[in-house]
Amino acid sequence: MARICIYGAGSIGCYLGGRLAAGGAEIGFIGRPGIGAELQAHGLTLTHYDGGSWRVPPEAIAFGAEPSAAAAADLVLVTVKSGATAQAAAELAGVVSPHAVVISFQNGIGNADTLRAALPGRTVLAGMVPFNVVRRGPGAFHQGSEGEPEVEEATVLAPFLADFTRAGFVLRRHRDMLPVQWAKLLFNLNNAVNALSGLPLQQELALRDYRRCLALAQAEALDLLAQAGIAPARLTPLPARWIPALLRLPDALFARLARKMLAIDPLARSSMADDLAAGRPTEVDWINGEVVRLAQQRGQRAPANERLVSLIKAAESEKARWSGEALLAELRIAAERG
């Protein structure tokens, strides 16, 4: 089996693995049989919002549907949805080499800890993918926003750094990933707002009422993080604590300032919006739900994020869409009731 294994061949897994394979790394994918058939029929076509493109032909793709396909991997990138982490951990425990390095490239805060608990003696690192990946067709995946993979610093990464460099990635390494994970999660709080809007990210963020919804959710989280002594890393030119104020600005002023902060493809949507559209369970419990849990740990509540969790769960079955004005009113009522 390939030296680097992608455990979870969804949008993020296919994009990361495809870029690494296009750069010459020996890659194997593990996922559902349906995606395996798709990749072996169409290969991988990978594109970037700045115009970059890469191609991996079908004959160059090694795919397996069983966990045993990870047995010979030196590096395992876990890219399954957060709700599948416990199952992935149990499956990997029986097959992954004692010498393998495992990186959780997933949303949320605690997935690496779940993997560590199931993989004693192995090196398990927390990681984070800050950019959005859009599925555009069979085997076609598009990076719709800026950013580079982020990972916990460890000397065991040395043998793999050249693979990421050849793929065109800057693998950003950190001694402490928790502030980085929370910084990404603060941005990801918009996933629920975007999914409920039914709009592309760029269009949704251009509308002040939707941004005010995100500002409510972020401000709630930032207050709890400050109480917990956690300072989110700076992933943009502005510190995280200033971003709610930026979001509340009038549309024209926000557009001018935000253009300097984060590049977003006009067609990009959040992964949560994609999950709702496809009828899949979302990761809201590992995004807004993380804020709710942080509040509960401190004997408090996070009403705006609680309400977003409940609205997304309702939308998983009802496919409801909210205007910015209606959603903002709903979140303000929740916050007032606290």
pTM metric for this prediction = 0.92
Residue 98 binned pLDDT confidence (cut-offs 50, 70, 90): very high
Q: How far apart are CA 136 and CA 77, in angstroms?
A: 23
Mean pLDDT confidence for 253-277: 82
Q: Return the amino acid letter for 183.
A: A
The structure tokens 């990681």 sit at 127
Q: Which residue has the higher pLDDT, 320 or 310?
A: 310
Q: Which of 267, 312, 261, 304 lies closest to 285 in space, CA to CA? A: 312
The token pair at 30 is: 């593990």
Strands (DSSP E) along the chain, which ranges?
4-7, 27-30, 44-48, 53-56, 62-64, 75-78, 101-105, 123-128, 133-137, 140-143, 150-152, 172-174
Q: What is the DSSP letter of 207?
A: S
Q: Is residue 63 a contact partner of residue 31, using CB atoms and an 8 Å limit?
A: yes
Q: How far apart are CA 22 and CA 46, in angstroms?
A: 9
CA angle (224, 154, 165) in 5-degree steps: 105
Q: What is the pLDDT of residue 259?
A: 74
The CATH number of 4-175 is 3.40.50.720
The CATH number of 179-337 is 1.10.1040.10
Q: How far apart are CA 16 and CA 20, in angstroms?
A: 6
Residue 1 binned pLDDT confidence (cut-offs 50, 70, 90): very low
CA angle (63, 129, 250) in 5-degree steps: 140
| pLDDT score of 229 more than 70 | yes
Q: What is the DSSP letter of 117?
A: H
CB contact set of 212 (below 8 Å; sequence gap of 6+): 247, 248, 324, 328
Encode pLDDT of 158-180 as tens digits: 999 999 999 999 999 999 999 99
Q: Which of 283, 256, 275, 281 lies closest to 189 in space, CA to CA? A: 283
Q: Is residue 10 a contact partner of residue 80, using CB atoms and an 8 Å limit?
A: yes
Encode pLDDT of 3-60 as tens digits: 999 999 999 999 999 999 999 999 999 999 999 999 999 999 999 999 999 999 999 9
Could you tell me the residue ranges of all domains in the chain? Answer: 4-175, 179-337
The two domains 4-175 and 179-337 share their CATH topology (first three levels equal): no
